[in-house]
Structure 1
Amino acid sequence: METSSTDFHFEAGTMPLLVSMPHVGTGIPDDVAAAMTPAALQKADTDWHLRELYGFARELGASTLAAHWSRYVIDLNRPADNTSLYPGQDTTGLCPLDTFACEPLYQPGRTPDDAEVRRRLALYWQPYHDQLQAELHRLLAAHGKVVLWEAHSIASIVPRFFEGRLPDLNFGSADGTSCDPALTDLVAAVARADGRYTIAVNGRFKGGHITRTYGQPGAGLHALQLEMCQGTYMDESAPFGYRPDLAARVQPVLRQMLQAAAGWAREGSGA
């Protein structure tokens, strides 16, 4: 069953696995776009092409949920109260005011006020989270144990957030609290066995709001984030083209990791 709304694209699967892609959206409502800068409308910080890269997930029987709206409208992976996910470190907020390259997103005097942020929370943030929760509860009821796979990507070099080059595959489990460590060990071992990609576990990226909030191992909900370097599957400079040649190399690794995660959940669920 596939559902495409104005807020997200959703397809229900049969396995105890949900792939969430909260930063793939490129939609910007006309009223919001009218206040934005040309840099904002380029949408450089999108998690480009992940729906295509993870296209095989549906074949595996995974549920998939992908955002429609751009993170520049409102960031679905930030808390509603805009609490910092990385206290003491630079990061973008719930309604970002600048790009990763520190370019302003809004024209002078047109940044969103508190009332506008609340409006966007209700219109654009809440529907994604409602669908996410509903599907997790459905899968949990059916299987007793579920893996939430948070799919993200980022440019390999972003001086604002980290020094040097980011490892290719960055796993985050909120320092081991959002999922059983055995799950993290299992999927990281799959990646290491391939041998072509550099790996970090709970390094610069430990998992965002969705991973930290919905990952409740004691309740059978295990959330794990994968932040991939975009250079593993696409061009990192505008116009941010998809690279089928690179994608063909990394997709088998992603497939094996998702299969391992789903198998791990099924083994412990009795499904």
Structure 2
Amino acid sequence: MSEPVYHLALPVERASCAVFSSPHSGRDYRAAFPTPPRLSLEQLRSSEDAFVDEIFADAPAFGAPLLAARMPRACVDLNRAPDDLDPALIHGATRRFLNPRIAAGLGVIPRVVAEGRPIVDGKLPLAEAQRRLAAYYHPYHARLRGLLDESRARFGLAILYDCHSMPRDALASAPTVRGRRPNVVLGDRFGAACDRWLIDAATDIFAAAGFVVARNAPFAGGHITQAYGRPAAGVQALQIELDRSLYMDEARVEKLRGFGELRALVAGVAAELARIGPRPASIAAE
């Protein structure tokens, strides 16, 4: 039997319509790069949402599945469209339209990691890009779609929490919240990926736990929230970005001493998020 290309933790019973997904926490670099790339492991991990899958690992205890990537983002980026191929990296790829992420080397097969450092020398054959998509990308998304379909069929609603982390430096340009820099950013693609009631509820839950919460700046949501968020069709998608400096040494990619406390705090948040269900129909005033 082949190695799994993702980790799926299922609850004993699906008691929640929520699905938690961590597409950038994969760290099996040996499987992803059997031939070592030009960068060190520490450099490769700079693009990883390190430990996010562990932070949300208690989600199944609250009745919701947790799907997490096994392959690292430096190998294949699950939060990009499958046709976001970079002509500067992939032989035979053509640019159909101006895409700033591809231009920056951040296509579905990334050319660079943080600070623009090239992952490999030269170009990759198109066949290698297609192999990674077939082996890693499509199975993850097929399972994610299946989990959301199961939630919608059982509960009449599916809520996707797309879980990520963000470098502290990325928050330098973030708008302050009551004079404080945010450490959680919720993204709903400016209302396109989920209804207002969901992001309002999530904001209140994180704020009640002591987090400083901003919305849609500097991160409004990526391919996953765009592709799956269909509020009118019963699928709500919300991106969650946690400040990495809360729980890890970003340069060393190591957990801070208070990691356990942060994980417990987020577990409480995840429990509340998992309890959110279909919004009760509003009653018109007489």
Scaled by the length of structure 2, the TM-score of the pair is: 0.80
Task: Tell me the SS of whatever aligns to 1:222.
Answer: strand
Distance 1:175 1:83 in 2: 26
RMSD: 2.8
Distance 2:174 2:19 in 1: 32
Give the direction of change, closer, same or farther, for the CA distance of 1:214–1:31 in structure 2 (3 Å limit).
closer
Other-structure match for 2:225: 211
Distance 1:211 1:265 in 2: 18
User: Superposed, which structure 2 residues align to 1:177-216 within 5 Å?
Assistant: 177-195=192-210, 197-216=211-230
Which of the numbers 70, 73, 78 marks the counterpart of 1:71? 73
Residues 195-242 of structure 1: CA distance to partner in whole angstroms, max 9, x if unpaired? Answer: 4x332101111111111111111111111010111111222121x122
Distance 1:158 1:92 in 2: 16
Other-structure match for 1:258: 270
The reply to whether residue 172 of structure 1 matches residue 184 of structure 2 is: no
Other-structure match for 2:158: 146
Which of the numbers 246, 257, 261 marks the counterpart of 1:248? 261
Give the direction of change, closer, same or farther, for the CA distance of 1:30–1:265 in structure 2 (3 Å limit).
closer
Residues 119-158 of structure 1: CA distance to partner in whole angstroms, max 9, x if unpaired? Answer: 2111110010011011111111111111100010122115
Residues 173-197 of structure 1: CA distance to partner in whole angstroms, max 9, x if unpaired? Answer: 11111111110011112222344x3
Give the direction of change, closer, same or farther, for the CA distance of 1:237–1:38 in structure 2 (3 Å limit).
same
Distance 1:226 1:80 in 2: 22
Structure 2's unaligned 5+ residue stretches are 87-97, 176-180, 282-286
User: Structure 1: which 4+ aligned runs deviate by more than 4 Å?
Assistant: 86-91, 162-166, 266-269
Give the direction of change, closer, same or farther, for the CA distance of 1:36–1:147 in structure 2 (3 Å limit).
same
8 Å CA contact 1:151, 1:225 repeated in 2 = yes
The reply to whether residue 118 of structure 1 matches residue 116 of structure 2 is: no
Distance 1:192 1:175 in 2: 20
Scaled by the length of structure 1, the TM-score of the pair is: 0.85
Structure 1's unaligned 5+ residue stretches are none
Cα shift at 1:32? 3.6
The reply to whether residue 96 of structure 1 matches residue 110 of structure 2 is: yes
Distance 1:155 1:6 in 2: 29
